[in-house]
Amino acid sequence: MLEVSLLLVARDEAACIEAVLAQALAQDLARDRFEIVVVVDPASRDQTLGLAQAVLARGGGPCDRVILGRHPSLAAGWNEGIVAARADRIIRWDVHGDYPIDFLSRALAAARTHDAQVVGGPCQPTLPAGARGFWPRCILVAERSPLVAISAFRRPCSRVRSVATVARGLYHRCVFERIGLFRELPYACEDAELHARARAAGLRFVFDPAITSGHHVRTRVGELDRQKWRNGAAVGWIAMHNRAAARPLHWTPAMVVASVVAIAAAAPAWSLCVALAFHGLAAMGSLRFTRRDLDFTTALGAAAVIVRTHWIYGAATWWGVFTAWRSAALPLALPPRGRTRRGDRVAVARPATTISRNWPASRVTDSR
C-alpha cells in the first residue's frame, strides 16, 4: 500500500541528481510503500531531465515518474509535485543532501508515533563527495558554528520536541488542503512562509532526532555568497508580507549590520574597522571555544567566512525589506485551499498568483 510520496525538485542538477536518486532507490522501505516524484524546473539548462528519467527507468518502480514543471521557480515545482503525488503523506528531499537508508522508515514511524501533522529531524552540514581543500573545510566549519546554524533543526538535540519549523519534513496532505500550497515568491525560503501559515492554523511540528540527514554546503565562497544573499533577501521580503514567517534569530545578522553602520556613521571612520575586527574576534573566539581541535589557520578562515556571511545575509535582509516595501501596492493572494490531488472533481488547489522573476519590474498575473 502506497504510504508516502518522495518529492524532489531540481534545476541544473546534473552533477548530483543521479546520486540522490540512488539514495532514494536504496531506502529500506518496501517499494510498494513509497513513490518517487521528480519535478524538473523548465528553466533547467543541463541534462537533469534526461538523467533523472534514465535512473528511474533502470531501477524505479511503476509509480515513479519525472515531471517537467510549468513555472520556473522552486515553489512552483513543489506545488506541481504535491498535486501529482498519490500518497497521503508527502516528504520533501533536497537534491544537495545525504540520506541514510532508513530515512523514510524512521520518518513514517515518527509520524505514526507523534500527534503532529509535520515531522522532521536534524539536518547537519556536510561536504559533498570529492570536495577537498582549505576553503571547503572552512565553509563546513563555519556552517556548523552556532553563529551560523541558527535554525533549530541544525542544532544537535537528543529529545523529541515541538518546534516552529522542520527541514525535509514529512507532511500529511491535510496540511496543504487546510492552508493551501506554497506561495510562488520572488525569493527562496518559501517553506518559512508556509510554516508560518501552518502555525497560525494550529498545526503541529515535531522534531525527532532519529530522522537524520545531511545537507551539502557550498564549496566555493562565491556560491556561498549567492546562497546567503538569496536567503537573507527572502527573510526581509517574507517578513513584510507575513511577520510570523521570520523568527527573531533570522534578524540577528541584519541587526549586526545596522548596528555597525550606525556606529560608523556616528563615530570616526576607523571605528568601522574596529567593529569589524571585534566581529571577527568574536567569531574566532566562538570557534576556538566550541571546536578545540581546530588548527589556527582553519579557525581564521572559518571566522572570515562567518563575518562575510553575516554581512551578506544582513545586507540582503534589508534589501528584501526595501523591495517588499516597494511592492506593497501589489496584492499577494494566498493560495486557495481544498483538494490537492490531480484528478479530483474539486478544483485543484494551485497558487493564486505568480510573481515575475524580473525583479523589481514585476507584476502579478493570474496563473490559473
pTM: 0.82
The model's confidence at residue 353, banded by pLDDT at 50, 70 and 90, is very low
The model's confidence at residue 316, banded by pLDDT at 50, 70 and 90, is very high
Q: How far apart are CA 164 and CA 205, in angstroms?
A: 6
Query: What's the distance, CA 217 to chain centroid?
Result: 12
Position 27 scores a pLDDT of 95
Query: What's the distance, CA 219 to chain centroid?
Result: 17
- What percentage of the chain has pLDDT greater than the value 90? 43
The model's confidence at residue 290, banded by pLDDT at 50, 70 and 90, is low
The model's confidence at residue 337, banded by pLDDT at 50, 70 and 90, is low
Position 363 scores a pLDDT of 27
Position 274 scores a pLDDT of 77
What are the residues whose beta carbons fall under 8 Å from the beta carbon of 151, sequence distance 6 or more?
165, 167, 249
Q: Which range among 60-64, 163-167, 241-245, 255-259 shows the weakest confidence by mean pLDDT?
A: 241-245
Domains of the chain with bracketed CATH: 1-95 (3.90.550.10)
pLDDT exceeds cutoff 50 at 326? yes
Q: What is the DSSP string of 220-250?
A: SHHHHHHHHHHHHHHHHHHHHH-GGGS-GGG
Q: How far apart are CA 269 and CA 173, in angstroms?
A: 56
Compare 55 and 247 and report the one with higher pLDDT: 55
Position 365 scores a pLDDT of 28
Average pLDDT estimate for 54-80: 90
Position 350 scores a pLDDT of 38
pLDDT exceeds cutoff 60 at 330? no
Q: Quick check: 33 and 138 in contact, CB under 8 A?
A: no
